Structure 1
């Protein structure tokens, strides 16, 4: 697991390359490697997970193909045996060392042979001019940000957005519709970011360009449906068997591995399957004091059944302002999910306890149909009622009607011409092939999951030099989920029917029968008069600061505070939280740029967390 960066058909000073490396060294503290020549440069920060003494990047340095790589290739041993049988000599047993030889054998299709998570940059110098290939994994577990200058046909790229800003001239133009996109979908979707000149390479994408030429961008097809599992109870058995196999593979590392255990079905099932391989360490996060949605007792019950060493992490509400500033900085753009703050704190505790890898339960809801909004959409569609309005509002940080009231007249007119969701994506969601649940699942997997969840997990784990591994994102598991019929996902008010069936007998009955609840901060209870979070929000979201941008009506925002103080409400609290996160981002990135402060300066440390084993 690493961080990568570089440029192509462009220039960057050694100081810029060092700056970019420094800005994301938290994600790769063990080594830094660079390779440069006229017109191009490749760089890497390494987090050593496999073959701790090997793995020098760029891989293939000095040869015709050089690669910098962020991620894990879980089938690297199989690939190594195949490549060595073909006559290739590989320098070490690091997973990424197979990449140059694999490309030499299979060309641009080499990614089809990779089983894992990755974002990579490959330089091929065999032709008259060098060629650069960028590629991302099938579902977007490892992001890659880039700036493409169409006029000069120049490219700069990096694993993290704040680091990319270390290249001169990057991030100078805010996308004026970005606030609307953020409030509509909780973070920018697709290839867009908050900046006009910065994009994200979408999942399953291969980008190829010759020096000085135009890029070819290709979205690779999703895995083909496996019809063999779509009938009868065999689906649950096959899901359990496949998950057991994948969890076992993802536990393999040359460093200590932990489990994130929230107490819900998804992470608890991963924990139970991991414990079959031997003793595990589990981590759960909670908040000091008495708050709603406290899951620590469920997590402890799962850990006890798994005979795990359990680590209970606690954070204090008084620490939230500093934690939020650190969280927003590492994300590089706003993400309105309150759990982002807890995610950052939890992975920091994992690292402080001595672990470098952690398995999580993320993506099960998208793969197997676990969200309440999916259930409601399917049921309303079956009844012939409108389902899309409620579904889209459930995705948002602020429902459409409330956004209308919050925007100024000028901003409302502007965003009407630049919708938050790309037209093609919205058309597929509303009118594409398949049932409503199939279309919603496709949208959740291909668009919302990578943008909203996986980037957050990647950035906030690597902020503390922890590699997050996601069994539910493995290609074999995703293929099984995609093959399910609607009734195997949701029926009779029950979500994730096949996954619950797969977990039967492996988890405590209380965990299997408990009502589903989100893994999140109890923001409605915490954002109340008298709390430190309320005071912090009031200090940042003042009338003058809100009105200065000309996008939001300051009086309307002030009215949200009044409503929350008098009649606490989940929707109002979520909107205030989202606006607070956006204001923190504005302060750290945009206002800093206008003041001449170095944009992308890492935050300082926070005090140690309370962790009990």
Structure 2
């Protein structure tokens, strides 16, 4: 958008920006241009395959008051359609896209408060000459913008904005700190001058500049319900949420790990499909060649997933498929390059990103939509550090305390000493922690452990969950797969956030409310299973290949990061014995080194530190 140029003459640049989103929308494309706005769209067709083309223009008696480009799903679109029809709106399609467009015509920016779903969209209002950017409440779908002297650039991912020559590819010290902090600060876009629309935020851009408004945020309220009623309410919400998120005009499946979260979603989906006479649920799981047979328990994973996956699939009668990967696939340079392009940043987590990408790529051959158990740990208090007094009491983000992520330090372990001092990542983390604490909505009279656990829940629901939601969205949309996250329904998040910690742990364990709500759905073995994070390969050959690649890399004479990386430190990490006690830490450092090199070259980044 530019108020000083006629963007009808900028179709080539707008098309180049749109083309970067081809992975997110493999089914169709469109481009609309007007005097001061150019809007592109790549479509992943889910609802009304024929009628939901975009950009979508509102046509009223020959006038075109609004143009929409929209990503995601609105799960209450049928109810909204009926309400808008009763208000006199006429619909040409059966798509949720048109419902969002007509909702804007009816309610303006207040439309966001009517929506239930995951979405990121932009509306150009030709009457007001104003652009509106809107992101869903929990930030499931990404949306970025980059102010220019006379307007703004925007896109679902940074790569769309960077395709415009007005956007500078500069990352300064603050951007590097954010990349290394393992804390996703709201609105921070890493690249200098770029911003991410905050979850639950509206951004309006007109001739007067950029204005922001939060249309949703977590609030604290008294929780009047006892344990039994709270469990019943959680179950009722989950029944409704999963039923809504099964709506699709294309093949749909679930992601299954055999844990409480994904098993609950799969069981609810199976139940709903069976009751609606719509057949059996289809499920997919990731596994590694030889992983189950040679599994070795570690600090975070006590059991392999496969036995639990198969038990749950059999229990609910799912049509199940294991996607089995080997180390050669995980180390394929083409896969690693695809993961980096999906991420736009060297912030990945190595084989756990590569395997997720490959899993989604395989699923896309069968389904276009998948339901995931992501975010249950943040909502219900499932991570081990929620229950570790040292981590809870630490004056920082709990996941950074107690050594929970000490093995994921990454490239900061091999920084030049002076760069490490200047960046001061621990100081940055402390600043961001205090900023987050200042936002926590307080409940009058709440003290002690209950007060602290409200803080901990807020930190996870506004900072930590964003890391995981962004990863899942990027890896899935990179192959044209839509992943839905039922546990992020804002009604459930609001309700459980305000339940006292004593109720959330009423049975003395993690995720008490979810376990009780799913008690009639799951086998006891799965119901009582201790949380096991997303799996990482245990094949020692994977680490050896990493070392070989890193060793070859740092011997090149065209390294783009000599102002950042201490090559002697890098060599010391590479030369550590394979499989020693620091193996995970070593892997993280080498993964980040390889990513950093590829990122600086491919994205032509200018470092300003």
Give the Cα separation in 2 of the matches to 1:404 and 1:199: 24
1:168 to 142, 149, 165: 165
Structure 1 residues 343 and 229, CA gap change in structure 2 (3 angstroms) = farther
CA contact (8 A) 1:281 1:309 kept: yes
Q: Does 1:17 align with 2:10?
A: no
1:244 to 223, 233, 239: 239
Q: Does 1:499 align with 2:514?
A: yes
Give the Cα separation in 2 of the matches to 1:593 and 1:422: 30
Q: Does 1:27 align with 2:37?
A: no
Deviations 1:81-101 (A, max 9, x none): 111111111221100101232
Q: Does 1:439 align with 2:435?
A: no
Deviations 1:7-65 (A, max 9, x none): 77665832222222222112112211111122211111111111111012222255111
Give the Cα separation in 1 of the matches to 2:540 and 2:3: 47
TM-superposed CA distance for 1:442, in Å, is 0.6
Partner of 1:352: 365
Partner of 2:146: 147
TM-superposed CA distance for 1:492, in Å, is 7.7
Provide the aligned C-alpha RMSD in A: 3.0
Deviations 1:235-288 (A, max 9, x none): 222212211111111011111110100111100100000000221100000011
Gaps of 5+ in 2: 275-279, 296-302
CA contact (8 A) 1:257 1:358 kept: yes
Partner of 1:3: none
2:355 to 322, 325, 342: 342
Gaps of 5+ in 1: 1-5, 597-613
CA contact (8 A) 2:162 2:168 kept: yes
CA contact (8 A) 2:26 2:480 kept: yes
Q: Does 1:122 align with 2:123?
A: yes
Q: Which residues of 2 match residues 177-326 of structure 1 at below 5 A?
A: 177-185=174-182, 188-210=184-206, 212-222=207-217, 224=219, 227=222, 230-277=225-272, 278=274, 279-290=280-291, 291-292=294-295, 293-322=303-332, 323-326=335-338
Partner of 2:55: 58
Q: Secondary structure at the match of 2:57?
A: coil
CA contact (8 A) 2:256 2:284 kept: yes
Q: Secondary structure at the match of 2:479?
A: coil
CA contact (8 A) 2:410 2:591 kept: no
CA contact (8 A) 1:318 1:532 kept: no
TM-superposed CA distance for 1:587, in Å, is 3.5
Partner of 1:610: none
CA contact (8 A) 1:65 1:125 kept: yes
Partner of 2:156: 159
Partner of 1:415: 423
The two structures have a TM-score, normalised by structure 2, of 0.86
CA contact (8 A) 1:178 1:188 kept: no
CA contact (8 A) 1:60 1:66 kept: yes
Q: Does 1:370 align with 2:402?
A: no
Structure 1 residues 561 and 393, CA gap change in structure 2 (3 angstroms) = farther
TM-superposed CA distance for 1:341, in Å, is 1.8
Indicate the larger mover: 327-336 or 107-116. Answer: 327-336
TM-superposed CA distance for 1:462, in Å, is 1.2
Partner of 2:84: 83
CA contact (8 A) 1:184 1:398 kept: no
TM-superposed CA distance for 1:108, in Å, is 1.7
TM-superposed CA distance for 1:466, in Å, is 1.1
Deviations 1:120-143 (A, max 9, x none): 10111113xx01110100000110
Q: Secondary structure at the match of 1:156?
A: strand
Q: Secondary structure at the match of 2:46?
A: coil
Q: Report how many residues are paired.
A: 574
Give the Cα separation in 1 of the matches to 2:288 and 2:55: 42
Structure 1 residues 51 and 406, CA gap change in structure 2 (3 angstroms) = same
TM-superposed CA distance for 1:477, in Å, is 1.4
The two structures have a TM-score, normalised by structure 1, of 0.86
Q: Secondary structure at the match of 2:390?
A: helix
Q: Secondary structure at the match of 1:141?
A: coil
TM-superposed CA distance for 1:502, in Å, is 1.3
